[in-house]
Amino acid sequence: MKLRNPEAAYNMLLERIRKTERKKVVRQLWIKYAGAAAVAIIIGIAGYWMGGHQTTAPMQYYSYITGNSISSFELPDGTEISLNKNSKLSYSSLYGEQVREVSLDGEGFFTVTKDKEKAFVVDLNGSKISVLGTVFNVKNYRKEDITTATLVEGSIRFETPDQQIVLKPDQQLVFNKSSNKIDMANVSTDLVTAWKSHLIKYRSVPFREFLDMLKERYEVEIILSNEALGDQKVTGSFDESLAVDQILDLMKKNLVFRWKKQGESYVIN
């Protein structure tokens, strides 16, 4: 069908677009400070192109980046998130229109506001977690080969392109990205989420695993030269503000071993 007045039709279309844009509301975000604040980055995306004319579409992307701190904030629907150090969470201004979707690179603790009509989805770059309203912890650093999801309350569904698993409270899922293998275990969730209180907490774990935890947390090399020592179980908690030297000295009160520092490495025997 031919338009008798193309210019008038074009102007009518532009007016419809402007009306649509005016209806869009950018929701205000609030950051609750826990230690140092996360950095909130807002990126606007250009939109409609017609006959050489440009109008700006109301699409924005939000990113929270923690750096060397733990930060907490609230999403537009009231969902509360704590982000561990060196983590990033992103979402768009379409959040909540049909689905509540975020992407995570790092570790986060989620208290999701219930909404039976709109699922909450965490994109983990190759896998995802879907919920309606629940409390859970996810660790997913893109540079690492392991994704870990721990359920505190409610239920979550972990999905890869060819697998789906529903978790129950106190269950932890460990997904190996390279092998596509999933392992399940029952855990003490207070140990998993101790990082929110700036604590290193452990209960009846092999000394070897405790040292692995120190390696990851402090990004140091620890060499255990006594394999039998690594099998002994340890229990306790430390404030993460303590240095590795201080933690090892405190551990010696309950476990017989010696340690020395060689360059940037710790050697334990």
* Backbone dihedral angles phi then psi of residue 190, each to the nearest 5 degrees: -65, -25
Find, among 130, 94, 102, the residue nearest to 115 by Cα: 130
Predicted confidence at residue 22, as pLDDT, reads 40
**Mean pLDDT of all residues belonging to the chain:** 84
Per-residue pLDDT, averaged over 152-160, amounts to 97
Q: Identify the residue with better confidence: 15 or 198.
A: 198
Q: Is the pLDDT of residue 17 over 60?
A: no
Predicted confidence at residue 153, as pLDDT, reads 97
Q: Is the pLDDT of residue 130 over 70?
A: yes
Predicted confidence at residue 6, as pLDDT, reads 46
CA atoms within 13 A on the CB side of 16: 7
CA atoms of 105 and 229, how far apart (whole Å) = 35
Residue 34, both tokens: 């826990």
Per-residue pLDDT, averaged over 148-171, amounts to 97
Decide: 71 and 36 in contact? Cβ < 8 Å: yes
Q: How confident is the model over 251-267, as pLDDT tens digits?
A: 999 899 999 999 989 99
Mean pLDDT is lowest, of 42-46, 96-100, 156-160, 218-222, for 42-46
Predicted confidence at residue 214, as pLDDT, reads 92
Residue 81's pLDDT band, with cuts at 50, 70 and 90, is: very high
Residue 15's pLDDT band, with cuts at 50, 70 and 90, is: low
Find, among 35, 106, 95, the residue nearest to 62 by Cα: 95
Q: Name every residue whose Cβ is closer than 8 Å to that of residue 36 and which is 6 or more positions away in sequence.
A: 67, 68, 69, 71
Q: Is the pLDDT of residue 99 over 70?
A: yes
CA atoms of 222 and 200, how far apart (whole Å) = 17
Write the single-letter amino acid at 9: A
Decide: 41 and 89 in contact? Cβ < 8 Å: no
Helix 207-218 vs helix 244-251: angle between axes, to the nearest 10 degrees? Answer: 170
SS (H, E, C) the chain: CCCCCHHHHHHHHHHHHHHHHHHCCCCCCEEECCCCCCEEEEEEECCEEECCEEECCCEEEEEEECCCCCEEEECCCCCEEEECCCCEEEEECCCCCCCEEEEEEEEEEEECCCCCCCCEEEECCCCEEEECCCEEEEEECCCCCEEEEEEEECCEEEEECCEEEEECCCEEEEEECCCCEEEEEECCHHHHCHHHHCEEEEEEEEHHHHHHHHHHHHCCEEEECCHHHHCCEEEEEEECCCCHHHHHHHHCCCCCCCEEEECCEEEEC
Predicted confidence at residue 50, as pLDDT, reads 45
Domains of the chain: 8-192 (2.60.120.1440), 199-268 (3.55.50.30)
